[in-house]
Amino acid sequence: MLSLKQCVQVLSMRCISMSASKLKYVNVAVDDKTGIATVEMNRPPVNSLNTPLLQELSTTLSDLTKNKSRGLILTSSSPTVFSAGLDILEMYKPDPERVKLFWTTVQEVWLKLYGSVYPTAAAINGHSPAGGCLLALSCEYRVMAPKLTIGLNETRLGIVAPTWFQASMQNVMSVRDTEKALTLGTMFSTDEALKVGLIDEVASDKQDAIKRCEQFLLQFAKISVEARAMTKRNCRGKAIADLENNREADLQNFLGFVNSPKVQRGLELYLESLKAKK
Amino acid sequence: MLSLKQCVQVLSMRCISMSASKLKYVNVAVDDKTGIATVEMNRPPVNSLNTPLLQELSTTLSDLTKNKSRGLILTSSSPTVFSAGLDILEMYKPDPERVKLFWTTVQEVWLKLYGSVYPTAAAINGHSPAGGCLLALSCEYRVMAPKLTIGLNETRLGIVAPTWFQASMQNVMSVRDTEKALTLGTMFSTDEALKVGLIDEVASDKQDAIKRCEQFLLQFAKISVEARAMTKRNCRGKAIADLENNREADLQNFLGFVNSPKVQRGLELYLESLKAKK
Amino acid sequence: MLSLKQCVQVLSMRCISMSASKLKYVNVAVDDKTGIATVEMNRPPVNSLNTPLLQELSTTLSDLTKNKSRGLILTSSSPTVFSAGLDILEMYKPDPERVKLFWTTVQEVWLKLYGSVYPTAAAINGHSPAGGCLLALSCEYRVMAPKLTIGLNETRLGIVAPTWFQASMQNVMSVRDTEKALTLGTMFSTDEALKVGLIDEVASDKQDAIKRCEQFLLQFAKISVEARAMTKRNCRGKAIADLENNREADLQNFLGFVNSPKVQRGLELYLESLKAKK
């Protein structure tokens, strides 16, 4: 049962006006009192990041800038998975044009989220491997529910996390822990993630995680939006400029990699193993 | 009462010969035995860093290089404030030529202090916000008295710490803690500052802080001055080169910022709030 | 007495085929089961890194790449010293051509070891100052026997650790600890080294250290060699490119330094002090 306070909170939420009506894979709710938007990925069963979901995230991130949002909480509608990461089906036997659009959209979402003007937090209420971990890392704060796993485990799938994935991890973990985590493809438990700095807090559940994210974001309520945004840009600018100035090279690098027979064979084996599980 | 040992220490101090006679806002005393200079900022009530104080600091830092100083301890004559930071009056309704000289001198002091040949330590015997924190961060070691506060709290004043302020903080704190501290404009208590690495030691009072700084500096007594200086330059060179190669752009960036109506209005409100307190 | 398991281990070792027969200062043994090579520096009494030893290390590192090695464990045949570092005799009153070859080989060994395709670990079974510490730092994992010392203590000898030595230390330690360690020339005890992250584990003795290194390396057994290598390159690429693009400048820097009268006098004094000890 909801408490009175919770009822008021629910009532003060409303759907974001502009693009929200067109959104299929993303639920957006803005708290009128705080100006904070909760963005819920909603592509069952595991929020695999395919082009349409990524495009909706990209649109949403831009809308929040236009709406002068006071903050973003990123979470998942799934009870078990935050996001399973990039959708393998976008990379397996790829159509040349479609896979290009896919990677360009991955870049775009990261550039917008990592460099957003408004403050950002991830309420990680489910497992968060690879691309899911990247989304969480791109926020400014991470709160995670217990007994979950998170990590950039790309090497375990025979693929390579690009340098901007690495930069995002080094933004919160030590250089040492990052190298070990990336080469080993480590999936951290919630407790281990807290210890290495991959997350900032442990929450009891999704609702608690969202509440703690909100508390983090509300700290910025009285701080100049412009000064904060420029300061964040100072901190994250190098990694952002590194990708902005090399988007085409990064794309070609990805295409060369994803089209190699070895990677295709690896993805095939992985997809077969998923089918076998069903 | 002074112990015999302390008397000897006091007697072995002498004023630095060359420029010291002309100094008004800075007290310099050199220990003849150790070759270590104690530089005390002395612009009551709170060592606001205006152009004359900064110029005297700049001259002093150069004199210490010429005199082949064996070390610098930076401290304050105020019993409560190390330095309140950049003098708002230099930035409020600024005269075009004067504000240019002001920022150029801030750059100069940082370049000389951050890149000094001789070892440096800050005996932080009072609160140390913004520019005060920058001076402390530019030293190689920080000892702080208890129950004080320190931090780069620029965003709280609606302004932005330049990238070299950020680099100075990242030189001692983790990337993660730096981003959080800079965007939030966090003022750390002495204990919190120790925990995140913003300071190295806690002292009982000013005299104890100076003694501990001295102990740090004396560790270099038997180390080749040249090898030490080149090694320090290797460690700090990138941040120094980043500013040296971009002084004009950094100045223009500051001027554009300080001359914006929004920042001017913010400074006005801040000055009014200070007057109201009196 | 060896256990049955140990006997099997010993029997499954064999000398590496290609260049090993020509090696004088390096013992190489490859475990046929795991594909891991143990490379033992063997230039008594203290594995001073002169040109011949460095050349053999360089050859060995390339052979391991050609042989698609599954991993390298670097250790020492000395019971007390891992490596005493760069051989002073290569730098004292240097022959112009020979000292050029010497430094070029130091660069080469670091580039190959720091950037190796196969995973690497150091079983540090003896003291490890200066160049010895660099070799350990260039590996991906470090296990050290108790009651030893390790560090980049170059400033204590009046010389300067080049920027790539510094980068190697910053790859495992914090920026703060690195600056302090390099300027002070700190030699860390085994326990202190563990605390600052300079080593990853403490072993009871050499055999235990090798076993723990092996356990680290075996974690990569099921991970794609290519994906792992590219990920490592992403993490270490900047430091490697910095030297690769500046080898000649780095050489000239070293030559100017090593040929200065001050450094020569320092090396002379150091050599005399070594003789006096005998």
Q: From the candidates A172, A215, A235, A240, which should be mutated to test the interface with B, based on the most B CB atoms within 10 A?
A: A235
- CB atoms inside a 10 Å sphere around CB C256: 10
The Cα of A198 is separated from the nearest Cα of chain B by a number of Å equal to 10
In tens, the pLDDT along C182-201 reads 999 999 999 999 999 999 99
In tens, the pLDDT along C220-255 reads 999 999 999 999 999 999 999 999 999 999 999 999
Whether the pLDDT of residue C46 is over 80: the answer is yes
Q: Rounded to an integer, what is the distance from CA C132 to the centroid of its chain?
A: 5
* A234:B163 CB<8 A: yes
Whether the pLDDT of residue B2 is over 60: the answer is no
How many folded domains does chain B comprise? 1
- Bridge partners (DSSP) of residue A29 are A15, A38
C226 part of the active site: no
Q: What is the ipTM of this complex?
A: 0.91
In tens, the pLDDT along C74-105 reads 999 999 999 999 999 999 999 999 999 999 99
- B227 chain-C contacts, CB cut-off 8 A: 154-155, 157-160
Using CB atoms, pick whichever of C160, C179, C266 lies closest to residue B230. C160
Query: What is the per-residue pLDDT for A278?
Result: 65
In tens, the pLDDT along B115-157 reads 999 999 999 999 999 999 999 999 999 999 999 999 999 999 8
pTM: 0.92
Q: From the candidates B153, B156, B157, B160, which should be mutated to test the interface with A, based on the most A CB atoms within 10 A?
A: B160
Q: What is the mean pLDDT of chain B?
A: 92
Angstrom distance (rounded) from CA A172 to CA B181: 13
Closest of B136, B157, B148 to residue B81, by C-alpha: B148
In tens, the pLDDT along A34-92 reads 999 999 999 999 999 999 999 999 999 999 999 999 999 999 999 999 999 999 999 99
**Got the DSSP string for A229-268?**
HHHHHHHHHHHHHHHHTTHHHHHHHHHHHHTSHHHHHHHH
CB-defined contacts A:C, below 8 A: 59
Closest of A129, A125, A119, A120 to residue A208, by C-alpha: A125
Token readout for B8 is: 């000897």
Angstrom distance (rounded) from CA B122 to CA B127: 13
Q: From the candidates C91, C154, C179, C183, which should be mutated to test the interface with B, based on the most B CB atoms within 10 A?
A: C183
Q: What is the DSSP letter of C187?
A: P
Query: What is the per-residue pLDDT for A270?
Result: 84
Token readout for A150 is: 């998170």
* C163:B231 CB<8 A: no
Angstrom distance (rounded) from CA A175 to CA A170: 6
Closest of A6, A212, A252, A253 to residue A121, by C-alpha: A212
* B171:C176 CB<8 A: yes
Angstrom distance (rounded) from CA C263 to CA C265: 5
Query: What is the per-residue pLDDT for A157?
Result: 87
Q: In chain C, which residue ranges form alpha helices assigned H by DSSP?
A: 4-11, 51-66, 96-114, 130-138, 163-170, 175-184, 190-196, 206-218, 225-244, 247-258, 261-277
Angstrom distance (rounded) from CA A90 to CA A82: 19
Where are any strands of DSSP class E within chain A? 13-15, 26-31, 36-41, 71-76, 120-124, 128-129, 142-144, 149-151, 188-189, 201-202
Helix (H, G, I), strand (E, B) or coil at B40: strand
pLDDT band at B208; cut points 50, 70, 90: very high
Query: What is the per-residue pLDDT for C6?
Result: 46
Query: What is the per-residue pLDDT for B162?
Result: 96
Question: Which comes out higher in pLDDT, residue B9 or C119?
Answer: C119
Question: Residue B80, class by beta-carbon neighbours within 10 Å (0-12 exposed, 13-18 middle, 19+ buried)?
Answer: exposed
Characterize the bridge pairing of strands B26-31 and B13-15. Answer: antiparallel
pLDDT band at B276; cut points 50, 70, 90: confident
CATH classification at residue C267 = 3.90.226.10
Using CB atoms, pick whichever of C176, C185, C266 lies closest to residue B197. C176
Q: Which of C49, C72, C86, C148 is catalytic?
A: C86
Angstrom distance (rounded) from CA A253 to CA A162: 9
- B235 chain-C contacts, CB cut-off 8 A: 166, 175, 178-179, 182-183
Angstrom distance (rounded) from CA B95 to CA B258: 11
Query: What is the per-residue pLDDT for B18?
Result: 46
Interface of C with B (CB under 8 A): 154-163, 166, 174-176, 178-180, 182-185, 262, 266
Residue count of chain C, please give it: 278
The packing angle between helices B96-114 and B247-258, to 10°, is 130
Cβ-count burial C208-220 (b if 16+ within 10 Å, e if not): bbbbbbbebbebb
Query: What is the per-residue pLDDT for C31?
Result: 96
Query: What is the per-residue pLDDT for B210?
Result: 98
Nearest CA in chain A to B186: A219
- Bridge partners (DSSP) of residue C30 are C14, C37
Residue A184: enclosing H or E segment and its boundaries?
helix A175-184
The Cα-based distances of B62 to B54, B96, B117, C182 in angstroms read 12, 27, 10, 24
- CB atoms inside a 10 Å sphere around CB B229: 19
Nearest CA in chain B to C160: B227
Edge-first strand listing for the sheet containing B142-144: B13-15, B26-31, B36-41, B71-76, B120-124, B142-144, B201-202
In tens, the pLDDT along A227-274 reads 999 999 999 999 999 999 999 999 999 999 899 998 899 889 888 988
Q: What is the DSSP letter of C186?
A: P
Whether the pLDDT of residue C55 is over 50: the answer is yes
Whether the pLDDT of residue A8 is over 90: the answer is no
Q: What is the mean pLDDT of chain C?
A: 92
The domain containing residue B170 runs over which residues? 4-277
Is-contact A189 A151, C-beta < 8 A?
Answer: no
Residue count of chain A, please give it: 278
The Cα of B49 is separated from the nearest Cα of chain C by a number of Å equal to 27
